[in-house]
Amino acid sequence: MSENCIFCGIVAGTIPSTRVAETDRAIAFMDIAPATPGHLLVIPREHSTDLREAAPEDLIAAMSLAQSMVSRVIDRLDGATGANLLSCIGADAWQSVFHTHLHVIPRYPDDPMVLPWKPESGDLDEIKAVHAKLI
């Protein structure tokens, strides 16, 4: 548990949250700054800054709970036809709370959320050069 972490406060019950579901290792609760109606967060109970530091068991628990939350938002929210699952790792990737978490964002036809990039074909030579660094 990290003393200054808002999500650790949610786990401890010292910071209020609107919990949707929980397991012995993970909690799902409503995001207070939702991208779309029904946007929720899934966090491991154990503190880690991001998924690079999280224990494998915590990642498995969080992903399993996120999987059930994706099904729940699509099945139960009127008009939801899909969902995005997002993990932000580092400030440059929009992480604002440094406790491992997954965003479950319900998607609706014509909702205002747009991808931050428009996928286009990349430069094949650059792709191959980056590939060589990753293998």
- Catalytic positions are 101
| DSSP label of 3 | T
- In one letter, which amino acid is 19? R
- In one letter, which amino acid is 48? S
Tell me the longest C-alpha to C-alpha distance in the chain: 52
What distance in Å separates the CA atoms of residue 13 and residue 41, rounded to the nearest whole number?
A: 16
